[in-house]
Amino acid sequence: MRFYALLNFQHIMIYLFPTLVFIILLGLFLGQTHFITRHSERRKAEICYRFPDGIEDRDAPFPVAMALVIAGAVVWGFFYILSIGIFEVII
């Protein structure tokens, strides 16, 4: 049994809120997969190149979720290197 009952509630909130944020963001990513421009539908439908095995290549828009994941990894890597190099802190 814990000494403070509030600690159980805090742990539940720490586990619950990131999960809810992840579910909401995943739903938004699946609902809107790319930035819609006036040429988006044409780019998704137009075939740019046909490979010999029947594979078709399109110049489709880049998904927003993938762009955010790549940008987040780059930003995290930069700050990780910065924190180890300058502050001598191991995360």
Find out whether 39 and 58 touch, Cβ atoms under 8 Å.
no
In a domain, 10, yes or no: yes
In a domain, 3, yes or no: yes
Q: Is the pLDDT of residue 60 over 80?
A: no
Q: What is the pTM of this model?
A: 0.49
Average pLDDT score over the chain = 80
In a domain, 50, yes or no: no
In a domain, 8, yes or no: yes
Mean pLDDT, residues 23-48 taken together: 77
In a domain, 83, yes or no: no
CA distances from 27 to 19, 22, 30, 60, 65 (A): 12, 9, 5, 21, 11
Q: Is the pLDDT of residue 90 over 70?
A: no
Query: Residue 2: its pLDDT value, please?
Result: 65
Domain total of the chain: 1
Mean pLDDT, residues 20-33 taken together: 78
Mean pLDDT, residues 74-79 taken together: 92
Domain range for residue 1? 1-31
